[in-house]
Structure 1
């Protein structure tokens, strides 16, 4: 088997494996290099297993409120943390095997090991990659690799796409130890359920784990540096989410930071400093550090080849191309927003541009939706109200409450809001922001509308099915123009 390829992709996360599939579809001889597990962090330790955990928490929540639906349960339903974790790991294992199947189906070679770029493509000569033994051991036994796998050696490719993802950002002096101070890795597979917890950071990762553990009955305190939780979200939506999370039992401290953590044998004490300079000590069984992630750019040979990086990420254009011929980057390693669906889209755009597919457009980050799967869910796309005003737009804002929607009331999920922002001059939909039940499934409707450059008039004349939660999307649009029918 020749070690020369048209395309080699380093990393098999959502960006990497999807790009490999599309590359093979376009007729390229393709290989993918993976050092740890097919599917990357998202499938094995991120997006997918966390949703399995949150589903267990959701079922527990419903069981605890069965009487609200006219149901009686004999005995108390409790969480078996080991069984909850086992289910989550089983979901990941199933999908991990699915990625292996996709590689085999699309005739993509899997090279098992750790890659380092040693030569860039130049003057028609291919780039060179040396693959060695992985320096990092998997956190759990590796699921069976596809039969057609290669290993250590030197490989060549005309095009090399770096898709190595990211890892948790560490704060000096508060480094995770795997026992008392956790990253999302340890938080996903606890050996036992803690009674209390401090979560440092309220982005998607932090707030999802806070929501999960709170639903299990853990006493959770969230500490956030910014004025609002989920700081990238619209302030109004963030505020409503905070009220519901606090009503559910979460303790939230904003405009504050953890300055020091003292460790005891089986607990931590977090010293929290607020904006007024006051400090309080919070003792808990565990602390989760969720202060962001940073790109995996080290030990790839990028610096030696002159690949430009900035703040821990590879610098690319709208098509994934770096400043060095034949080298590209996609996904988390190429910078924010660090989302799996952004990585997949960037990968497809990158390889289609390489192949010369007509009509390929650069990635528009304003069209990338964001979702947080806490309870209540939060989802958004485009500009927030504040960002739209800052950009100079004269705007119209529409709002529609879940409490005025028949389906939401029937579901017992009448707390939430859908908010839309339009350019008053053109009717362009600038942004959409939601908090409430199943909004992570609703947001795609506004993403499609924005990509099609749909105006307010077209949205108002679209027929939405009844009774559905999606009707609120149309009502929010109508409200922006003073035409709401059910509020």
Structure 2
């Protein structure tokens, strides 16, 4: 039998796939990557990064409209939609080119085309240059996921959008319906609201951003409502009727009443579907609701075949995919003889989540309710932005930080934030959980002044009745 061409082939070049390839190359493995569309995958090209570019434009626009709050006079403010989209696409292009540079720098072979497994460690790739066969000692599936569509709300790119359509709009919707209030739905709702759309969010569960702590959900709903959004929880869209100039939506409210409302556009943000069809894995892996089942290192049930990222069980986050990529690459190198490596299994409870709406939301670990459900005696502390000097100076007094502790041991069980820059602050608590910190260590830590991070300290103190500035 011929010697495999590669030690590792990665199918998919998103933040899980390309990071796995880089780590494998660093460890001396002959590595290749197969990509059917654009290097960097959905995250860099159509997800995390370009959406943040759009949201940044909306944030600047928001500040310009409120310049008077900072003693500034501005006139003639208007948004140039084409320029906003162009900037976002430029950011994506820059990062796509950056991934191409990284592949070249690390000597990773790139095969552009549709990859299909012909065995656990063999692939057929169809691309612009024809068909080629690749063999490897190991293969990592990193094929990602796509937006889930509703059977009665098929995206047409004109009136009914997925996140992909929503990133390259030709016009700002006059009346926008967002179906689903997870991170993607709420981020687009926030962007278009700041850009002037009349936004309605419909969520079938009893609160928006339902994976977050209940206090955060309640605060965010109040804030978004104050900004002019209409929020409908415990509600469902039963039907959509598309017309040339808009969409008629039949919406069943929490009280059971059904209304028909008209919108210019609809964004469907009701979850994702793994890209696992048509890649030859049917008899090689076990599935869980369409996602590939793996062990904590990324192994499937078939020797030599691994999986990471959004085609595996959640949370479906880019940073989780990247971490899985490193873990899988190190486990593969270990199996190939590198005895110096000791990869650690992924602890899903220490993966932070971030939502880049206005105000921002971030969290890690257990919510207060989940901690109680798990049987913990809980101590929880909350500190408001209005009590922080830096927040007042920034004009960002909306929000709070909440920490949840095991009352018996002092273990930090979870942290939950809403407000300015909390997507940056959350990593402090994430590190704390990784290091298994306790309330005593956090209390004894010196936080710089004046910073937003002081609220993290005060929140810990508040859990034990020791807050200093409220």
TM-score by length of 2: 0.97
Deviation at 1:45, TM superposition (A): 0.3
* 1-structure distance, mates of 2:47, 2:77: 27
Residues of 1 paired with 2:63 and 2:430: CA distance?
30
1:469 alignment partner, one of 436, 452, 456: 452
SS in 2 for 1:167: strand
Instruction: Identify the match of residue 150 of structure 2 among 162, 171, 181.
Output: 171
In the alignment, which of 428, 451, 461 is matched to residue 434 of structure 2?
Answer: 451
Aligned to 1:232: 211
Whether 1:92 and 2:92 are equivalent positions in the alignment is yes
Distance, in Å, in 2 between the alignment partners of 1:433 and 1:76 is 39
> Contact 2:148–2:270 at 8 Å: present in 1 too?
yes
Cα distance in 2 between the residues matched to 1:260 and 1:233: 28
1:223 maps onto 2:223 in alignment: no
Q: Secondary structure at the match of 1:465?
A: coil
Indicate whether 1:411 and 2:412 are aligned: no
Q: Does 1:31 align with 2:35?
A: no
Q: Hey, what's the Cα distance between the residues in 2 that align with 1:108 and 1:91?
A: 24
Shift of the 113–3 alpha-carbon distance from structure 1 to 2, 3 Å rule, reads farther
Q: Is the 8 A contact 1:464 1:474 kept in 2?
A: yes
Partner of 1:273: 252
Two-structure CA RMSD over aligned residues (Å) = 1.1
Distance 2:26 2:266 in 1: 45
**Alignment-derived partner of residue 102 in structure 1:** 102
Q: Distance in 1 between matches of 2:178 and 2:295?
A: 35
Alignment of 1:1-400 (within 5 A): 4-73=5-74, 75-120=75-120, 127-133=121-127, 152-303=131-282, 305-356=283-334, 357-400=340-383
Partner of 1:442: 425
Alignment partners' CA distance in 2, 1:79 and 1:3? 55
Q: Which residue of 1 aligns with 2:337?
A: none
- Count of aligned pairs: 463
Helix, strand or coil at the partner of 2:88: helix
Aligned to 1:387, the other structure's residue is in SS state helix
3-state SS of the aligned residue for 1:152? strand
Partners of 1:152 and 1:208 in 2: CA distance: 40
Residue deviations 1:217-255 (CA, integer Å, cap 9, x gap): 100100001111001000101111111111111111000
Tell whether the 8 Å contact from 1:380 to 1:432 is kept in structure 2 after alignment.
yes
Aligned to 1:143: none
Q: 1:138 maps to which residue?
A: none
Structure 1 runs of 4+ aligned residues shifted over 4 Å read: none
User: Once the 2 structures are TM-superposed, how far is the Cα of residue 151 of structure 1 from its aligned partner?
Assistant: 6.3
- Could you tell me how far 1:167 is from its partner in structure 2? 0.1
Preserved CA contact (<8 Å) 1:163 1:329: yes
Secondary structure of the residue aligned to 2:381 is: strand
Q: Is the 8 A contact 1:295 1:335 kept in 2?
A: no
- Cα distance per residue 1:190-239 (max 9 Å; x no partner): 11122111000000000000000000110010000111100100010111
State the Cα deviation string for residues 277-334 of structure 1 (Å, max 9, x = none). 211112110000000111100111000x331111110000100000011100000001
Aligned residue for 1:238, secondary structure, equals helix
Would the alpha carbon gap of residues 203 and 247 (structure 1) be closer, same or farther in structure 2, given more than 3 Å must change?
Answer: same
CA contact (8 A) 2:362 2:426 kept: yes
SS of residue matched to 2:16: helix
Retained in 2: the 8 A contact 1:112–1:151?
Answer: no
**TM-score normalized by structure 1?**
0.94
- The answer as to whether partners of 1:200 and 1:222 remain within 8 angstroms in 2 is yes
1:124 — aligned with what? none
Residue 152 of structure 1, CA deviation: 2.7
**Secondary structure of 1:302's aligned partner:** coil
Q: Is the 8 A contact 1:428 1:455 kept in 2?
A: yes
- Structure 1, unpaired ranges of 5+: 121-126, 135-149
Q: Is the CA contact (8 Å cut-off) linking 2:4 and 2:137 kept in structure 1?
A: no
